[in-house]
Amino acid sequence: MSLRGAALAAAIVLATACGHGEPQAKASAAAQRGGTLVVGAITDADAWNEYVSQQTTAINLLRRIYLRLAQEQGDTKDHPPSFAPLLASSWSFSPDGLTLTMKLGSHAWSDGAPVTARDVRYTWTAQTSPDVAWTGVSSKERIKDVHVVDDTTIAFVFDRAYPEMLADAIEGGIVPEHVFGKVPFKEWRTYDWSTVRIGSGPFLLSSWTPGEEIALARNPGYADGKLPYVDAVVVRIVPDIGNLETQLLAKTVDLIDGVPAADAKRLAASPGVTLVPYDNPMFDYIGWNGTKPPFDDPAVRRALTLAIDRQAIVDDLLFGYGRVSAGPLLSSWWPADATLSPWPYDPREAIRILAAKGYGPGHPLEVELMSNAGNRTREAVAVKIQEQLAKVGVQVTPRTLEMRALREASAAGKYDAYLGGWRFSGKLDLKGIFGSASRPPGGNNVVAYASRETDRLIEALGTAPDWRTAKAAYAGVARQLHDDQPYTFLYEAKRLVAVGPRARDVVVDVPADPLARLERIWIAR
């Protein structure tokens, strides 16, 4: 949160009577139809086509306009997520496990045309077209072909069986061939998709005023006649989070996603405001430059990890909305190994290891720690780490760089350490981040980590036929990374949705999709 936002929020809370927010009504039996839900957002949409857009604001709304074949559920703790039918009513795998056949339900586009298997195949050709250049295309790399069996039956043919086949097949909203097909793929990235007003989901794009407002209207032809509960959703775009929080307190905004943890306590104390924390599919880390001594030494990296009190960072800077990270596998995700504990905070052991490596009071280890400008949490974390490592004799110099400058510096290997984070939906590209083939130039393994054992385990992961085998392989990778510490895995931060008194039944149970239940939110009048 900006300084001015904090000042305003603090002033508002001082100006209002303190009290506890009322519990959010959860019983959908009392749901009322009608009204307009007003959502506050600090960023605008960039394009109204999921395969062109890069912004989560647009993508989260597009998912309510162009339905997927199935909806991922949030039950990812103990096994891969289950899926609820959306456009597809049922599905099954062939005996060899290589063909996934899906049966479409009775759905229609908002112009009255039926949603057919040809739309599904057309969408796949768009997703994989180099001209469209969809950034999520890696989810389709194992799909060899998509066959139209009949108007309502579609078959995905994979080159091999693996646990996330269904997740990959349903990734991306289905678009109507009879409308989108009029625009050649080569022109998709320079076409104004806001002029296209069609959909299969509960909402349709009603209007878009860039920089100001997005309006969605109820789709009268939506398959579930009872939903959505609200007539319209209006997204107010205001870059200043302090202003949005004011509007939440003034009851002119009903919901804000991404409220800073620093404001959580103050907002929760305001009458009628409820906070809904949810698991953000992301972890933050320190990347150590694996090409530069002494950071190329796993023992030194381990010592540095031992000297950082990550629980204190979670408590003091995330205000408890997070947990210490043990590795790249999120604790709320089924591949996570519950037996793998984060390295403890042990400054004495850190001093011993560093002394064995020749570092001490007479010869302190010096580290320049980079973070991206504008990310106030990471800037504060850098200062906290500076303070903690000073206790073991390590001199840290925090340095803030603009994000692209930081990317260039890290990709060129011109750094000691940097603060970063990885977000993922569905699965994490471990090969792209930790595989030795993904080292710079070009790859995302900017810490230049190289381990034959890790490469072998990641390869094994890629050929695991079922999720239990994959889980074991994931555990092996996590343990190897835990020992080698190419990153110091810092924390998994929760994300917060703030809900005003009018909005009811706000449930966030799909980590990468906070508006997944948008059609079930209703307005109390």
Partner 1 sequence: MAAVLLASAVLTLTFVLVEAAPGSAADLIPAERPLPPEARARLEAAYGLDRPPLARYGTWLSCAVRGDLGWSISRGRPVAVVLAGALPATLLLSGLALLVQIGLGVALGTLHVVRPRGPFDHAAGVLGLSLASIPTFWLALMAILALSYRLPLFPPSSSRSIGADAWPLAARALDTLWHAALPATVLGLGAAAALARYVRAGLLRALGEEFVRAARARGVPPSRLVTRHALRATLPPVVTLAGVSLPALVSGSLVVEVVFGWPGMGRLAYDAVVARDLPVVLATVLVATVVVVAGSLAADLGLAWADPRARGAVSEPA
Using CB under 8 A, list all residues that contact partner 1: 4, 7-8, 11-12, 15, 36, 38, 44-49, 52-56, 130-133, 135, 137-138, 189-190, 192-194, 207, 209-213, 215, 234, 236-240, 242-243, 246-247, 249-250, 252, 282, 372, 402-405, 407-408, 420-424, 429, 432-433, 442-444
| Cβ-based nearer residue to partner 1, 285 or 288 | 285
CB of 249 to partner 1, least distance (A): 7
SS3 451: coil
Identify whether the C-beta of residue 322 lies closer than 8 Å to the C-beta of residue 490: no
SS3 378: helix
Identify whether the C-beta of residue 300 lies closer than 8 Å to the C-beta of residue 354: yes
| Cβ-based nearer residue to partner 1, 85 or 432 | 432
CB of 58 to partner 1, least distance (A): 8
DSSP code at position 194: G
| Cβ-based nearer residue to partner 1, 112 or 525 | 525
| Cβ-based nearer residue to partner 1, 331 or 372 | 372
| Cβ-based nearer residue to partner 1, 44 or 309 | 44
| Cβ-based nearer residue to partner 1, 2 or 311 | 2
Identify whether the C-beta of residue 478 lies closer than 8 Å to the C-beta of residue 329: yes
CB of 333 to partner 1, least distance (A): 16
Identify whether the C-beta of residue 146 lies closer than 8 Å to the C-beta of residue 94: no
| Cβ-based nearer residue to partner 1, 231 or 297 | 231
CB of 18 to partner 1, least distance (A): 16
CB of 313 to partner 1, least distance (A): 18
SS3 92: strand
CB of 140 to partner 1, least distance (A): 12
Identify whether the C-beta of residue 448 lies closer than 8 Å to the C-beta of residue 435: no
| Cβ-based nearer residue to partner 1, 210 or 320 | 210
Token couple for 30: 């009392």
SS3 479: helix
| Cβ-based nearer residue to partner 1, 100 or 262 | 262
CB of 254 to partner 1, least distance (A): 12
DSSP code at position 51: T
465-to-333, 392, 460, 470 alpha-carbon distances in Å? 19, 46, 10, 7
CB of 507 to partner 1, least distance (A): 24
Length of the chain equals 525
Long-range pairs for 57-61: beta carbons < 8 A, 24 or more residues apart: 57/214, 57/235, 57/237, 60/513, 60/514, 60/515, 61/203, 61/205, 61/214, 61/216, 61/233, 61/235, 61/515
Tell me the sheet residues that pair with 101. 92, 155
SS3 499: strand
CB of 431 to partner 1, least distance (A): 10
